[in-house]
C-alpha cells in the first residue's frame, strides 16, 4: 500500500520528530502560511510530510495530500482526499491544480527535473508552486557533506539542491519567481537547550547573512506564453449587435 516506504522523504518525516526537526518545521510552517494564505482557486495539493498540513492557512475548499505512503486515519483527517504516488508521476489532469506545495520533495526525489515538469503540467496558468528545501550553503549543509560524520538529515542520492539552481530550473519552465525566504541560522545542534542558546542567531542572520539560512522557501507562478483572454459568447454577440446598429444609423443619416 505504499511506494518505496523507506524513501528519504519518509525518513525525513521521522527526522522532523526530533528537537531540531520541530525547530525547522515551526519556521517553515510560518513562512508557507504567509505565502499560501491569499492564493485563491479550487484545488490545492501538498506532496509529502503527511504529519504536517502546510495548506492549513489556505482557504480553498478542496485540499488534498499526495505522497509515497498511505495515510493513517489521523493523518488523513485534515484532507478532502489523498493519493499514493511518486512525485515524478502525479496522477492529476493537466492544468487542474491551483496551488502545489513541495516540502523537501526535490532533494529526496530520484528525478528533480521530472518533478518540476510534472508540477508545471498539473498547475493551471497563473497557478502557484511553493518549494521548501535545505540550503547546501549553510552551516547545516557543510556539516552534511563531511564524509566522516553521520548524516545530519535524510536526503536522496543527489543530496541537497541550492535555491539558485531551483530558480534557474523554474525560469526554464516559464515560472516567475514570486518570493523567497531563508531561515534557521543556528548551528547544527540536536537538543532544545542548545537551540535555545543560539536562538539570537536567527534575528542576526536575517540581517547580516540572509543567504546562509539552513532552510529556504521559494514561491513561483506558472506563466503561459501567448495566452489571450476569451470573453463569454453573450458579450461577443452584444458587441456585434451594437456594431450593426451603428452601421444602420449611419445609413439612415446619409
> For the chain, where are the E strands, in sequence order?
43-47, 62-67, 81-84, 97-103, 123-134, 175-183, 215-222
Here the cell at position 229 is 483572454
3 compared with 198, residue with greater pLDDT: 198
* Number of neighbouring beta carbons within 10 Å of residue 167: 16
Greater confidence, 166 or 148? 166
**Which CATH number fits the domain that encloses residue 81?**
3.40.50.150
Q: What is the mean pLDDT of the chain?
A: 82
DSSP state, residue 104:
S
Predicted local confidence at residue 1, as pLDDT: 35
pLDDT level of residue 202 (50, 70, 90 thresholds): confident
User: Does the pLDDT at position 149 exceed 70?
Assistant: no
Is residue 107 in some structural domain?
yes
Higher pLDDT, 248 or 189: 189
Burial of residue 90 (CB within 10 Å: 0-12, 13-18, 19+) is buried
Q: What is the pLDDT of residues 95-107, one digit of tens each?
A: 999 999 999 999 8
Whether 160 is in a domain gets the answer yes
Mean pLDDT confidence for 225-238: 60
| 63 within a domain of the structure (yes/no) | yes
Residue with cell 495566452: 227
- Name the helix (H) or strand (E) containing 235: helix 233-253
Q: What is the pLDDT of residue 128?
A: 97
**Whole-number Cα distances in Å, 99 to 52, 82, 119, 197:** 16, 15, 10, 37
Residue 140 in domain: yes
Q: Which of 18-22, 37-41, 153-157 is the least confident region?
A: 153-157
Cell (9 digits) for 128: 502557484
2 domain residue, yes or no: no
This prediction has a pTM of 0.80
**What percentage of the chain exceeds 90 in pLDDT?**
51
Q: Is 132 within the bounds of a domain? A: yes
Domain count, the chain: 1
Q: Is the pLDDT of residue 9 over 60?
A: no
Q: Which single residue is written with the C-alpha cell 540581517?
A: 207
Give me the pLDDT at residue 28, please.
95
Q: How confident is the model at residue 44 (pLDDT cuts 50, 70, 90)?
A: very high
Grid cell in block for residue 4: 518505496
Residue 1 lies in a domain: no
Q: How far is CA 129 from CA 21, 45, 48, 98, in A?
A: 23, 10, 14, 9
244 inside domain? yes
The whole domain housing 249 covers 8-253
DSSP strand pairing (97-103 vs 215-222) = unpaired
- Residue 91: the pLDDT is 95
For 56, which DSSP code? Answer: T
Question: All 3 cell numbers of residue 203?
Answer: 534575528
Please list, in sequence order, all residues whose beta carbon lies within 8 angstroms of the beta carbon of residue 147, skipping any fewer than 6 positions away.
none
Residue 142 has pLDDT above 80, yes or no: no
Amino acid at each position: 500500500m505504499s511506494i518505496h516506504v523507506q524513501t528519504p522523504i519518509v525518513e525525513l518525516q521521522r527526522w522532523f520528530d526530533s528537537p531540531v526537526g520541530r525547530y525547522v518545521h515551526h519556521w517553515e510552517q510560518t513562512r508557507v502560511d504567509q505565502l499560501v494564505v491569499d492564493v485563491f482557486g479550487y484545488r490545492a495539493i501538498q506532496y509529502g510530510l503527511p504529519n504536517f498540513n502546510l495548506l492549513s492557512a489556505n482557504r480553498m475548499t478542496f485540499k488534498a495530500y499526495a505522497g509515497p505512503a498511505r495515510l493513517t486515519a489521523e493523518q488523513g483527517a485534515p484532507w478532502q482526499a489523498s493519493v499514493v504516488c511518486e512525485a515524478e508521476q502525479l496522477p492529476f489532469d493537466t492544468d487542474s491544480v491551483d496551488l502545489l506545495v513541495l516540502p523537501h520533495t526535490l532533494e529526496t526525489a530520484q528525478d528533480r527535473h521530472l518533478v518540476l515538469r510534472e508540477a508545471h503540467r498539473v498547475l493551471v496558468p497563473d497557478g502557484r508552486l511553493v518549494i521548501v528545501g535545505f540550503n547546501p550553503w549553510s552551516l547545516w549543509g557543510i556539516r552534511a557533506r563531511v564524509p566522516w560524520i553521520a548524516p545530519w538529515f535524510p536526503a536522496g542520492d543527489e543530496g541537497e539542491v541550492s535555491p539558485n539552481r531551483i530558480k534557474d530550473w523554474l525560469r526554464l519552465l516559464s515560472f516567475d519567481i514570486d518570493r523567497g525566504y531563508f531561515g534557521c541560522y543556528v548551528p547544527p545542534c540536536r537538543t532544545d537547550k542548545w537551540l535555545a542558546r543560539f536562538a539570537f542567531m536567527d534575528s542576526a542572520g536575517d540581517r547580516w547573512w540572509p543567504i546562509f539560512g539552513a532552510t529556504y522557501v521559494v514561491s513561483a507562478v506558472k506563466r503561459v506564453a501567448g495566452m489571450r483572454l476569451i470573453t463569454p459568447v453573450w458579450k461577443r454577440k452584444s458587441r456585434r449587435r451594437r456594431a450593426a446598429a451603428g452601421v444602420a444609423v449611419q445609413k439612415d443619416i446619409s
